Amino acid sequence: MKKLLFLCGSLRAASSSRATIRALETSLNGKCAIDHAEIATLPFYNADITDDPNVKRLIDQIAAADGLLFVTPEYNYSVPGLLKNAIDWASRPAYQSVFKGKKCFIISVSGGLLGGVRAQSHLKYILNGMLAQVFVWQEVVITQANAKVKDGVMADEAVIDFATQAAEAFIGSL
Ligand SMILES: Cc1cc2nc3c(=O)[nH]c(=O)nc-3n(C[C@H](O)[C@H](O)[C@H](O)COP(=O)(O)O)c2cc1C
């Protein structure tokens, strides 16, 4: 069974990104093994820190995964700093990091009408820069995401059907 690692770009308890991950965990049940990257505990990137256990854990999780599924909001037209920090940690050594050749897919969310499409585009560019392989499919952007969350889970059926189709295609490509 292929291993999928979720990377969530939001720490909020009521996060619509996290709610989307919860819904996908249910819809993908039995179709892949799922792990979650712990990025909240990472220090800010500092090349002088060479032995942080949380950094090691993140790199090990990425290495062990067949595919990475990012679910992230857009912050000020780009990728949240929290997520960029995690990516920066795992991106060294440049062009030879654990991201090299790693298959990735992105789902973006926003409270507004654009669904985080700018963050999604920036994240693709960042992943390309690390020689990761971003899976090509229709873009999954979840607009007005907070209004679609019920009891901590993304509850919009059409949204989750579409995101699940994308995730299944991604898993099939791993
Ligand atoms: C610091 C900050 C910046 C934001 N910038 C944007 C933005 O550029 N575009 C956008 O569509 N939404 C923006 N938002 C709104 C987020 O889309 C919204 O808060 C979303 O629900 C956050 O994702 P989450 O529910 O997973 O926490 C911003 C929110 C915050 C807190």
Percentage of residues of the chain with pLDDT beyond 90: 100
- Binned at pLDDT 50, 70 and 90, residue 69 comes out as very high
- For residue 76, the model assigns a pLDDT of 98
Mean pLDDT, rounded, for 62-83: 98
User: For atom 1 of ligand 1, which residue has the closest CA?
Assistant: 75
Longest dimension (CA), the chain: 47
**pTM for the whole thing?**
0.98
**Closest ligand 1 atom, residue 71 Cα:** 26
The β-bridge partners of 109 are 73, 142
SS3 109: strand
Q: Convert the pLDDT of each residue in 106-150 to its tens digit.
A: 999 999 999 999 999 999 999 999 999 999 999 999 999 999 999
- Binned at pLDDT 50, 70 and 90, residue 3 comes out as very high
- For residue 1, the model assigns a pLDDT of 95
- For residue 155, the model assigns a pLDDT of 98
**Closest ligand 1 atom, residue 149 Cα:** 25
Mean pLDDT, rounded, for 163-170: 98
16 Cβ contact list (under 8 Å, min separation 6)? 10, 73, 109, 111, 142, 145, 146, 148, 149, 154
**Which amino acid is present at 26?**
T
Q: Closest by alpha carbon to 97, among 53, 135, 139, 132?
A: 132
Burial of residue 117, with CB atoms counted within 10 A of its CB: 0-12 exposed, 13-18 middle, 19 or more buried? middle
Q: What domains lie within the chain, and their CATH numbers? A: 3-172 (3.40.50.360)
- Separation of CA 96 and ligand 1 centre (Å): 32
Instruction: Assess whether the C-beta atom of 146 lies below 6 angstroms from ligand 1.
Output: yes
Pocket test for ligand 1, best of 6, 76, 117 (most atoms within 8 A of CB): 76
Mean pLDDT, rounded, for 33-47: 97
